[in-house]
Amino acid sequence: MSETSQGNSAPPLQRALQAVAAVRQLAAARERTDFVARLDAAKERLENLNYQVLVVGEYKKGKSTLINSLVNAEVCPTDDDIATARPVMVHHADEPLAELLLEPRRSSPGDGGADERADEEANGAPATPRPPQTRAIDVSEIEAWATDRVPNDGPEVRAVRVGLPRTLLASGL
């Protein structure tokens, strides 16, 4: 009988980590580096459990005000004439910080960038996920970047990430 049918007493998180490790070992034995990378990312997500809460709703209905109230800081723009144009991701940090999450740059041949990944997918090979690039910004620039009021001739900005030393966020929220 399998361990699962006998009733594995390990916590669900531990069982999930064991399953990822077992599948990763099989993928590595078959030299499936694409799956190994995805499984490594899955393991990291499981080991660093954070809860993502999305605040969605109609245009200009107080979503930014709600977030600002919860974290007791002005991290999302709130103005009658301004709307948030990009996602603002708020997390715990020991000191206030802000950064931009940038779309992966367009590539030169052989460097593994976006164009090369599109070629991989067209040839039937699964594309390896690439984390977004980041660029630190001053905390005072959050509103400008979140509202798209900054001229940007560089890479496309995917989101603004803000770190705050808040007890509410320290638990992984």
SS (H, E, C) the chain: CCHHHHCCCCCHHHHHHHHHHHHHHHHHHCCCHHHHHHHHHHHHHHHCCCCCCCCCCCCCCCHHHHHHHHHCCCCCCCECCECCCCCEEEEECCCCEEEEEECCCCCCCCCCCHHHHHHHHHCCCCCCCCCCEEEEECHHHHHHHHCCCCCCCCCCEEEEEEEECCHHHHCCC
Residue type, 4: T
Q: What is the tens place of the pLDDT at every residue in 112-148?
A: 555 555 555 666 666 666 777 899 999 999 988 998 7
* Torsion 98-102-104-106 (CA) sign: negative
**47 is written with which tokens?**
């080991």
Structure tokens at 165: 């030393």
Q: What confidence tens digit (pLDDT) does each residue in 8-67 have?
A: 677 888 999 999 999 999 999 999 999 999 999 999 888 887 778 889 888 888 999 999
Q: Where are the domains of the chain?
A: 1-49, 51-170
> How far apart, in whole angstroms, are the C-alpha atoms of residue 34 and residue 80?
47
Residue pair 86/93 in contact by the 8 Å Cβ criterion: no
145 with 160: CB under 8 angstroms?
yes
- pLDDT for the residue numbered 24: 96
How far does Cα 118 stand from its chain's mean position?
21
pLDDT tier for residue 162 given thresholds of 50, 70 and 90: very high
120 or 157, greater pLDDT: 157
Nearest-angstrom CA–CA distance, 151 and 148: 8
